[in-house]
């Protein structure tokens, strides 16, 4: 679903700074993307935090990501991993639930249909932080603004989802990026109910060899339920 950005143009002079800010933000994202595509593989450790209004302390889980161009991706959460999502070039995504001994393969067309009907599970966002181009990034996100943080060379990138139905629940997404080397420091998903999910990158290994089995997990004995 696509979020509509309503631009209130009061005068030519008032509109000009908005266009300049837009172009600056896009230039920051373009630099980040162009630096990132030079990295051929990544092995990332992260911590996912979920902050709820009803809890004093955030809920935290460790996770791991492997990424290899042109499009092999594995994301897992928990130790041992409770959920694993794996995709390969072509768009199919396998989602494995370890505890339930269950897995399902989603095709690119199925993911698009689920998202369009509002029944999606968010799987289509897997790997969105490794865009192949500025254009592919903008097909998923609307770039709202980019602001340099107190740490020189590190920027907060404020985004809206272009998926309207997802936007009913998601208020804003913020990527903290390092454009010069294509690094992602963290990202926040800010929900309209006041909860915030933050993924903090804790370690990154670039351009290392990734065993093929990482992208082909063993699902022997797992059930594959039909829709």
Task: Give me the pLDDT at residue 199, please.
Answer: 92
Q: Is-contact 138 115, C-beta < 8 A? A: no
Per DSSP, 157 falls in state E
Q: How far, in Å, CA of 203 to CA of 227, rounded?
A: 37
Per mean pLDDT, which range of 109-123, 174-188, 198-212 is the poorest? 109-123
Using alpha carbons, select from 178, 206, 179, 194 the residue that is nearest to residue 68: 206
- Domains of the chain and any CATH numbers: 12-215 (2.50.20.10)
Task: Give me the pLDDT at residue 125, please.
Answer: 52
pLDDT digits (tens, 9 = 90+) for 129-161: 788 899 989 988 999 999 999 999 999 999 998
pLDDT digits (tens, 9 = 90+) for 33-90: 999 999 999 999 999 999 998 888 989 999 999 999 888 999 999 999 999 999 877 7
Backbone φ and ψ for 179, nearest 5 degrees, come out as: -60, -35
Task: Give me the pLDDT at residue 105, please.
Answer: 86
More confident residue, 175 or 212: 175
pLDDT digits (tens, 9 = 90+) for 5-45: 322 322 223 333 444 448 899 999 999 999 999 999 999 99
The pair of structure tokens assigned to 188 is 């926040």
């Amino acid at each position: 679903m696509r979020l509509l950005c309503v631009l209130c143009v009061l005068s030519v002079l008032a509109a000009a700074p908005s266009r300049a800010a837009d172009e600056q933000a896009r230039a920051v994202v373009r630099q980040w993307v162009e630096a990132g595509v030079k990295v051929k593989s990544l092995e990332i450790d992260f911590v996912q935090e979920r902050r709820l209004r009803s809890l004093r302390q955030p809920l935290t889980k460790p996770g791991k990501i492997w990424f290899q161009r042109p499009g092999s991706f594995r994301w897992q959460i928990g130790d041992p991993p409770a959920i694993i999502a794996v995709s390969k070039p072509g768009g199919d995504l396998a989602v494995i639930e370890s505890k339930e001994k269950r897995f399902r393969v989603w095709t690119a067309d199925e993911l698009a249909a689920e998202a369009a009907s509002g029944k999606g599970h968010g799987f289509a966002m897997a790997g969105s932080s490794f865009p192949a181009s500025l254009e592919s990034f903008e097909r998923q996100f609307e770039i709202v603004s980019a602001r340099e943080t107190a740490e020189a060379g590190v920027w907060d990138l404020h985004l809206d989802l272009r998926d309207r139905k997802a936007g009913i629940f998601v208020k804003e997404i913020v990527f903290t990026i390092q454009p010069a080397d294509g690094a992602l420091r963290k990202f926040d998903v800010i929900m309209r109910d006041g909860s915030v999910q933050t993924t903090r990158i804790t370690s990154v290994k670039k351009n290392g060899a990734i065993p093929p089995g990482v992208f082909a997990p063993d699902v022997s004995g797992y059930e594959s339920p039909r829709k």
